[in-house]
């Protein structure tokens, strides 16, 4: 499937290397409708892919070296060449660590060839829309494609998670990479992380006069530098104390140490909210998911404590202006919120959010309507 993004990335490759790429692969960012911080607790999630993507144009090399170039606003940014056989955790910093981590993991799968990679994309960085995972997934598909190796989506998701966890140093779960790989157009992906069972749930908000408005606060977040790892460690400790595999197996936070109870309470209630949301969508009761989104935000703010003032202002302002529900998405500590908005008042909601940010002295947010898009694959 050709697109403007894949074509422009291929042309950038040709300008840099003097030849056409062997192929172009791409992967989308994602919006998680509901189900936050449940993936690494063996729980339930409900993401959908968005049209914004990362493209990787690639050609093989025979010397075991990977070259990286990123096209940003028409400017080319390069990273030092990487020798595949010498890659190791901590050895690459900045944006290059994400494709490097993928190459490091795939080397363990016997894929040791080099490659020239040219990267472009329009997933906003630091926005909680999974720009890093879209880059990693697209890189994985490109390197696998160049090597002529076919792999299951579940294997690719696990390899990308390993790259993120062990090479980059962010202890993420399986939500983002699975969404990028497996989501389909006009559907949300209902995923049971423990079993791997997936269901494509039809999701067409426009049919019911609604939009999912994304509000990017432009407060950049980092899962490596934030309290993400601390929250995950707390959940793992709670499961250990209770003698279960994961917080998913608990039905109450009672009896746990006081500092762990809010974390467990969030995961228990969030899993329940995902299941209820799926039930409502199956019955085409779209408007009724709004309060579940708002309850999710309150839980993430008060129990999991991963929100920030900009996300709280965005959600509150959207609801006051008529949104049916709103919540932060992603790991937290910045990034984006979503609001379920009647289409006819979308402009009013946007205006209210911009005004609320101005009153607080924040920079203006970035907004767009998210629609479920296709997952990752080869474009050219």
pLDDT at 85 over 90: yes
Over residues 314-332, the mean pLDDT reads: 97
pLDDT at 225 over 70: no
Q: What are residue 361's phi and psi, to 5 degrees?
A: 80, 15
- What pLDDT shows up at residue 222? 57
Query: 3-class SS at 368?
Result: strand
- What pLDDT shows up at residue 371? 97
Cα(239)–Cα(242) distance, integer angstroms = 5
Please check whether residue 174 is in contact with residue 217, taking contact to mean a CB–CB distance below 8 angstroms. no
> What domains appear along the chain, each with residue ranges and CATH number?
4-195+374-378 (3.30.230.10), 204-370 (3.30.70.890)
> What DSSP string describes 310-347?
HHHHHHHHHHHTT-SEEEE-SSSSSSEEEEEEEGGGHH
- What pLDDT shows up at residue 220? 80
Average pLDDT, the chain: 96
* Lowest-pLDDT choice from 191-195, 219-223, 313-317: 219-223
Strands (DSSP E) contained in 195-248 are 198-202, 210-216
Determine the straight-line distance between the first and last CA of the chain, rounded to whole angstroms: 7
Please check whether residue 243 is in contact with residue 40, taking contact to mean a CB–CB distance below 8 angstroms. no
- How many residues appear in the chain? 380
The residues, any chain, with a CB within 8 Å of residue 145's CB and separated by 6 or more, are 22, 23, 25, 58, 378
Instruction: Name residue 316's beta-bridge partners.
Output: none
> Tens of pLDDT along 235-254?
999 999 999 999 999 999 99
> Tens of pLDDT along 193-214?
999 999 999 999 999 999 999 9
- What pLDDT shows up at residue 3? 83
- Point out the residues that are catalytic: 176
- What pLDDT shows up at residue 170? 87
Of the candidates 155, 136, 160, 147, the one whose C-alpha atom is nearest the C-alpha of residue 111 is 147
Does this model's pTM top 0.75? My answer is: yes
Residue bearing the bigger pLDDT, 171 or 358: 358
Cα(46)–Cα(48) distance, integer angstroms = 7
- What pLDDT shows up at residue 73? 86
> What DSSP string describes 74-143?
TEEEEEEEEEGGG--TTS--GGGHHHHHHHHHHHTTT---EEEEEEEE-SPTTSSS-HHHHHHHHHHHHH
> Tens of pLDDT along 91-119?
999 999 999 999 999 999 999 999 999 99
> Tens of pLDDT along 111-170?
999 999 999 999 998 888 999 999 999 999 999 999 999 999 999 999 999 999 999 998
Over residues 263-277, the mean pLDDT reads: 98
Cα(234)–Cα(240) distance, integer angstroms = 10
Dig out the tokens for 262 from the structure: 């809010």
């Amino acid at each position: 499937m050709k697109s403007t993004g894949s074509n422009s990335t291929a042309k950038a490759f040709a300008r840099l290397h003097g030849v056409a790429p062997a192929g172009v692969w791409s992967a989308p960012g994602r919006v998680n409708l509901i189900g936050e911080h449940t993936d690494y607790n063996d729980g339930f999630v409900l993401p959908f892919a968005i049209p914004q993507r990362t493209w990787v144009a690639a050609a093989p090399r025979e010397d075991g070296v990977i070259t990286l170039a990123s096209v940003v606003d028409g400017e080319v940014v390069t990273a030092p060449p990487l020798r595949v056989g010498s890659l190791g955790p901590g050895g690459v910093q900045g944006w290059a660590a994400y494709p490097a981590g993928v190459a490091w993991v795939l080397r363990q799968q016997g894929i040791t060839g080099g490659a020239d990679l040219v990267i472009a994309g329009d997933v906003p960085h630091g926005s909680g829309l999974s720009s890093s995972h879209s880059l990693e997934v697209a890189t994985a598909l490109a390197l696998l494609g160049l090597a002529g190796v076919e792999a299951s989506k579940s294997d690719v998701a696990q390899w990308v998670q390993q790259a993120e966890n062990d090479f980059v140093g962010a202890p993420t779960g399986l939500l983002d990479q699975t969404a990028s790989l497996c989501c389909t157009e006009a559907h949300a992906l209902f995923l049971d992380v423990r079993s791997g069972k997936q269901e494509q749930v039809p999701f067409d908000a426009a049919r019911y006069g609604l939009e999912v408005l994304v509000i990017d606060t432009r407060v950049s977040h980092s899962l490596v530098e934030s309290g993400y790892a601390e929250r995950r460690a707390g959940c793992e400790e709670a499961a250990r104390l209770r003698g279960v595999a994961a917080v998913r197996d608990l039905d109450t936070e009672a009896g746990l140490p006081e500092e762990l109870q809010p974390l467990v309470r969030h995961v228990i209630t969030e899993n329940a909210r995902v299941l209820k949301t799926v039930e409502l969508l199956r019955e085409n009761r779209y408007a009724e998911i709004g309060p579940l989104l708002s309850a999710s935000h309150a839980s993430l703010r008060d129990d999991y404590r991963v929100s920030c003032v900009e996300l709280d202002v965005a959600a509150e302002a959207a609801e006051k202006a008529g949104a049916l529900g709103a919540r932060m998405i992603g790991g937290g500590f910045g990034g984006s919120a979503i609001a379920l908005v009647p289409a006819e008042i979308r402009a009013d909601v946007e205006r209210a959010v911009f005004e609320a940010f101005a009153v607080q002295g924040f920079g203006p947010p970035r907004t767009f309507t998210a629609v479920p898009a296709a997952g990752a694959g080869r474009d050219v």
